[in-house]
A and B are shown apart, each in its own frame.
Chain A
Amino acid sequence: MSDPATNTPETEAPGLDFDRDIGNFHYDTKYEHDAGVGLRPETLDYIADVKGEDDWIRAFRHKALKIFESKPIPTHWASKDLEAIDYDKIRYYLSTGQRPTRSWDEVPDDVKKTFERLGIPEQERKFLAGVEAQFDSEASYSNMKEELAKQGVIFVGSTEGLMEHPEIFRKYFGKVIPAGDNKFSALNSAVFSGGSFIYVPPGVKVKQPLQAYFRINAENFGQFERTLIIADEGAEVTYMEGCTAPKFETTTLHSAVVELVALKGAKIQYITVQNWSANVFNLVTKRGMAMDDAEIKWIDCNIGSRLTMKYPGVVLRGKNSRGEVLSIALAHDGQHQDTGAKMVHAADNTTSTITSKSISIGKGRATYRGLVTMPKHLQNCKNNTECDALLINDNSCTDTYPAITVRGDGNSVQHEASVSKVSAEQIFYMMQRGLKEEQAMSLAVNGFVNDLIREFPMEYSVELKRLIELEMEGSVG
């Protein structure tokens, strides 16, 4: 363990920097396409026209808008803070150009500056199999290693995927998460733009992770990327996403829809490190469908945003399929991390695991919300859920709201949750050995999440640890 006191932003080693201050800058960008402010049917037509979309996509958008308008804001169970979103003040589509560039040199200089600060090309040079960077509404840069393309892996944006490979993507698009799933999935379905559509052919195992960066640059902007990953029979893929935005005075909305389809025997791992600035509403719907013997694993790490509502789920449709969610949430002053997981068992011998750890600092609020269902006449379904919450200060808050429905006598479910603070004995032990209180606290918090962080790819786990140390600064005493 390095000395946390030296881990200030100035002394950071180069690498994946997603701490908040690194993301806090923005460039004045001239946008070629701007759908204006507010949400009307014409906004949807504008987006569809700019993208040159087929009629069925346009119809899909319009239908979704009607669903969005008909659904109430879910404040009967969710935070009242949702009422602070003014849909008429949001800009729904902004882009500097339609086609993402394939070569880093062609990316416009100011956009390049943004991503260079975030360390994207470096990452690519180092180890990534493919990378995509989204700047507001559209991907500004997208590249994938040639060998993967030769094997038939497709890694494109949402519109490109639907237009150029309809035979692959149309079948599953909007099927795992229909537009009417919830108010925000409807909103996304109406105005979606960008995101990643990935197809991995049967038996292809993508060894290195595919990666995407999402960046909000403009004020009052809403980002609505759409991701669909299909791993064909026996395929394997890991996808990582990171997100940042500058700190604006006004609120910004990010509402993504992510659908995963793991066909027979496939494995998908989806890793998110969310570090939006504290003015972003992050309302994301993520769900995967696992067929026979398939495995879907969500690793979800929420550090930024004003309010995050995100419950990655797995629908276990095939026999012997497996679902897993690992979730870490860190809620600081003024933040509400409302995260969790959903596991819907729909076949025999399916297993799911949910592990959630949250840390509330200052006046932060961390909420775990979960759902596990097992219908009747199924045999040998198992779920195990553990959620632990750590409260750092007197005024920190935490909630846990799981919902478990089990029918029939062939299944078993276990749920456990605990809430605690860092014990005085631990702190005393470390201080006695010469650590400052702040360092001791930081070390204890890292210990609390350590077994989960170890599940992350190495680069992420190193950064996460350092980020937690930064967040802990000034929280003691």
Chain B
Amino acid sequence: MSLDRNQPEVADAGLGSSSVFQECLSGFGWAAPWIHKLKQDAWERFQRLPAPHRKDEQWRFASVQDLALDSFRLPVVAGDSSAGVPSFDAIRNASARMVFHDDALVEAPRLPDTLREQGVIYCPMDEALREYPELVREHLLTRLPGIGSQKYESLHAALFHNGTFLYVPANVEIAEPFITVHWSGLDDGTALFPHTLVVVGDNARATVLDLFQSVDPGTRHFVCGVSDVYAGAGSHVHYETVQNWNLNTVAFHLNSASAERDAALKSITVNLGSAHTRNEQHCRILGAGASVDTDSLTVAKGTQEIDQRTLQTHSAPNGHSDLLFKNALLDDARTIFSGLIRVDEVAQQTDAYQTNRNLLLSDTAEANSLPGLQIAANDVKCSHGATTGSIDDTNIFYFLSRGIPRRMAEELIVFGFFEEIVSRFDNDELSDFVRELVQNKFRN
């Protein structure tokens, strides 16, 4: 593999320029001094950190030349930001819902009184910073993934101004999901910084869904989103994201999921859109007996590049983590899966698994797989597996021998490949919604 010579450009223009930061900061005139300091420090860190390079192990195989920031700017809301935003009604059963358009709130959440009375908070991030600064401060940007995109984490911290805040107090159990829909496309060339912070108290239960979509298939966007899901002791948390930006979008989705003692945290990611996505997921076993499941499904076609980096950190004993990343590739698409299980010395009796399955459906698609283990405790069960291949001829033969034509057989096999993840959503509406998106993308 020849190392890439192209130098990434993070020029002092567009998003990378100080005037943009000042512009962002001026919108925070009302905010507490700690928020200003947090943003100022982040901006300095962003400027100090080097741009990613392929020679860096955490950027191995990745493209870096399309990460230039100079042609993007912050969205300016003039007039009604809800103009042109399609209605979204694929999932009707929800505890509450919020809709953003280029980080501007266009549909405020209507939280049922019963939840409000129990102390549940579900609101846009800027409102949370204003109304519940101390609650937010305890968690905000304290658990970043840190798997190579530290520069972009800093950029996010400096420039973000909106997103989702969900707080579920201890012992409150909520069945229906909280849904946040992010649309891009208010204007061409805008940069979005959606932030999601989910804090679920001890023994509570909640499901959160983030949907990322574009209004217009033609507009160019840069997205740098961060999500942080925190599951308190004994809690049950589901976090699901569907990324379906338009094909002119370069997106960072930098996620972290942390589980305290005996908590069960499940996350599912679906990657369909964007020209280039860098998705980082860091799962942390913080307390004994915690369990984290991380699943992901990607369908990449055309010249899409989906770059996935994961880290499962076990820093407490008796933890369990299981990760399954499935990628289907068509045309000239590229995927990278780089995963690491890290088991600290104290994390004895850990069970940790990591699986990456790549299905190549064209002669020019490229799947890179870097499954890693770093084990410092001896009484553990850890394994990883990675397979890359195409549709098995014997499977096709089975269908053909039963009178099912080849094309349909292939489609059924591929849908079966997706189904393993799709059926893990514990929400039928969401499963149907994702199934349709995935199948449409595959068929067209």
In the complex, besides A391-B377, A419-B381, 19 extra interface pairs with C-beta distance below 8 angstroms are: A393-B378, A394-B377, A395-B376, A396-B378, A400-B371, A402-B372, A403-B368, A404-B386, A406-B358, A406-B367, A406-B369, A409-B361, A414-B387, A415-B369, A415-B385, A416-B384, A418-B383, A419-B380, A421-B378
The residue in chain B whose Cβ has the minimal distance to the Cβ of A77 is B57
Complex Cα distance, B367 from A157, in Å, reads 43
Q: How many A-B residue pairs have CB under 8 A?
A: 136
Complex Cα distance, B372 from A399, in Å, reads 7
Q: Which residues of chain A have C-beta atoms less than 8 A from B174's C-beta?
A: none
Q: Which residues of chain A have C-beta atoms less than 8 A from B363's C-beta?
A: 376-377, 408-410
Q: Which residues of chain A have C-beta atoms less than 8 A from B376's C-beta?
A: 395, 397
The residue in chain A whose Cβ has the minimal distance to the Cβ of B368 is A405
Complex Cα distance, B375 from A392, in Å, reads 12
Q: Which residues of chain A have C-beta atoms less than 8 A from B419's C-beta?
A: none
Task: Answer yes or no: A373 CB below 8 A from chain B CBs.
Answer: yes
Candidates A399, A414, A421; contact of B374 at CB < 8 Å: A399
Proximity bits, A266-302, B CB within 8 Å = 1, else 0: 0000000000000000000000000000000000000
Complex Cα distance, B360 from A409, in Å, reads 5
Task: Answer yes or no: B90 CB below 8 A from chain A CBs.
Answer: no
Question: Are A408 and B370 CB-contacts (below 8 A) given A415-B385, A416-B383, A417-B384?
Answer: no
Task: Answer yes or no: A76 CB below 8 A from chain B CBs.
Answer: yes
Candidates A76, A373, A403, A416; contact of B370 at CB < 8 Å: A403
Candidates A391, A414, A418; contact of B378 at CB < 8 Å: A391
Complex Cα distance, B358 from A450, in Å, reads 32
Q: Which residues of chain A have C-beta atoms less than 8 A from B57's C-beta?
A: 76-77
Q: Which residues of chain A have C-beta atoms less than 8 A from B345's C-beta?
A: 394-395
Complex Cα distance, B329 from A425, in Å, reads 44
Task: Answer yes or no: A411 CB below 8 A from chain B CBs.
Answer: yes
Candidates B61, B375, B383, B384; contact of A397 at CB < 8 Å: B375
> Can you list 25 A-B contacts with CB-CB less than 8 angstroms, sorted by A residue number?
A76-B55, A377-B363, A394-B345, A397-B376, A400-B371, A401-B370, A402-B386, A406-B360, A406-B389, A407-B366, A408-B360, A408-B365, A410-B363, A413-B369, A413-B386, A414-B385, A414-B386, A414-B387, A415-B369, A417-B384, A418-B381, A419-B380, A419-B382, A420-B382, A421-B380
| Contact present for B382 and A411 (CB under 8 Å) | no
Question: Are A389 and B366 CB-contacts (below 8 A) given A400-B384, A413-B389, A420-B380?
Answer: no
Q: Which residues of chain B have C-beta atoms less than 8 A from A398's C-beta?
A: 373, 375
Interface members, chain A 369-388 (any B CB < 8 Å): 373, 376-377
Complex Cα distance, B349 from A421, in Å, reads 11
Q: Which residues of chain B have C-beta atoms less than 8 A from A394's C-beta?
A: 345, 348, 377-379
Candidates A391, A408, A415; contact of B362 at CB < 8 Å: A408
| Contact present for B371 and A417 (CB under 8 Å) | yes
Give, as a whole number of angstroms, the nearest-CB distance from A190 to chain B.
Answer: 22
User: How many chain A residues touch the partner (CB < 8 A)?
Assistant: 37
B residues neighboring A (CB under 8 Å): 1, 55-57, 60-61, 345, 348, 358, 360-391
Give, as a whole number of angstroms, the nearest-CB distance from B406 to chain A.
Answer: 14
The residue in chain B whose Cβ has the minimal distance to the Cβ of A74 is B55
Q: Which residues of chain B have C-beta atoms less than 8 A from A397's C-beta?
A: 374-376
Complex Cα distance, B140 from A145, in Å, reads 75
Q: Which residues of chain B have C-beta atoms less than 8 A from A419's C-beta?
A: 373, 375, 380-383
Complex Cα distance, B376 from A396, in Å, reads 6
Complex Cα distance, B366 from A407, in Å, reads 4
Complex Cα distance, B367 from A373, in Å, reads 10
| Contact present for A373 and B387 (CB under 8 Å) | no
Q: Which residues of chain B have C-beta atoms less than 8 A from A123's C-beta?
A: none
| Contact present for A415 and B371 (CB under 8 Å) | yes
Question: Are A417 and B366 CB-contacts (below 8 A) given A406-B358, A412-B387?
Answer: no
| Contact present for A404 and B370 (CB under 8 Å) | yes
| Contact present for B369 and A376 (CB under 8 Å) | no
The residue in chain A whose Cβ has the minimal distance to the Cβ of B55 is A76
| Contact present for B373 and A404 (CB under 8 Å) | no
Complex Cα distance, B384 from A418, in Å, reads 6
Candidates A77, A396, A405; contact of B367 at CB < 8 Å: A405
Give, as a whole number of angstroms, the nearest-CB distance from B6 to chain A.
Answer: 18
Candidates A402, A409, A418, A421; contact of B379 at CB < 8 Å: A421
Candidates B60, B365, B388; contact of A403 at CB < 8 Å: B60
Give, as a whole number of angstroms, the nearest-CB distance from B301 to chain A.
Answer: 13
Q: Which residues of chain B have C-beta atoms less than 8 A from A77's C-beta?
A: 57
Complex Cα distance, B379 from A393, in Å, reads 9
Complex Cα distance, B345 from A415, in Å, reads 26
Q: Which residues of chain A have C-beta atoms less than 8 A from B55's C-beta?
A: 76
Complex Cα distance, B392 from A409, in Å, reads 10
| Contact present for A389 and B375 (CB under 8 Å) | yes
Question: Are A405 and B375 CB-contacts (below 8 A) given A377-B363, A411-B388?
Answer: no
Candidates A399, A407, A417; contact of B364 at CB < 8 Å: A407
Complex Cα distance, B410 from A409, in Å, reads 13
Complex Cα distance, B336 from A403, in Å, reads 10
Q: Which residues of chain A have C-beta atoms less than 8 A from B382's C-beta?
A: 418-420
3 closest A-B pairs by beta carbon, nearest first, are A412-B389, A391-B378, A409-B390
Proximity bits, A15-41, B CB within 8 Å = 1, else 0: 000000000000000000000000000
Q: Which residues of chain B have C-beta atoms less than 8 A from A403's C-beta?
A: 60-61, 368-370
Complex Cα distance, B367 from A416, in Å, reads 17
Q: Which residues of chain A have C-beta atoms less than 8 A from B379's C-beta?
A: 394, 421
| Contact present for B375 and A407 (CB under 8 Å) | no
Q: Which residues of chain B have C-beta atoms less than 8 A from A405's C-beta?
A: 1, 61, 366-369
Q: Which residues of chain B have C-beta atoms less than 8 A from A408's C-beta?
A: 360, 362-365
The residue in chain B whose Cβ has the minimal distance to the Cβ of A419 is B382
Q: Which residues of chain B have C-beta atoms less than 8 A from A414's C-beta?
A: 385-387
Complex Cα distance, B380 from A400, in Å, reads 15
| Contact present for B364 and A415 (CB under 8 Å) | no
Question: Are A404 and B384 CB-contacts (below 8 A) given A376-B366, A409-B360?
Answer: no
Q: Which residues of chain B have C-beta atoms less than 8 A from A413's C-beta?
A: 369, 386-389
Complex Cα distance, B1 from A426, in Å, reads 44
Give, as a whole number of angstroms, the nearest-CB distance from B49 to chain A.
Answer: 16
The residue in chain B whose Cβ has the minimal distance to the Cβ of A373 is B1
Q: Which residues of chain B have C-beta atoms less than 8 A from A402's C-beta?
A: 369-372, 386
Candidates B61, B383, B390; contact of A412 at CB < 8 Å: B390
Question: Are A417 and B383 CB-contacts (below 8 A) given A399-B374, A409-B362?
Answer: yes
| Contact present for B365 and A409 (CB under 8 Å) | yes
The residue in chain B whose Cβ has the minimal distance to the Cβ of A387 is B373
Complex Cα distance, B329 from A411, in Å, reads 14
Question: Are A376 and B364 CB-contacts (below 8 A) given A398-B375, A404-B369, A419-B380?
Answer: yes
Give, as a whole number of angstroms, the nearest-CB distance from A401 to chain B.
Answer: 5
Proximity bits, A130-143, B CB within 8 Å = 1, else 0: 00000000000000
Complex Cα distance, B387 from A397, in Å, reads 26
The residue in chain A whose Cβ has the minimal distance to the Cβ of B340 is A401
Complex Cα distance, B358 from A392, in Å, reads 34
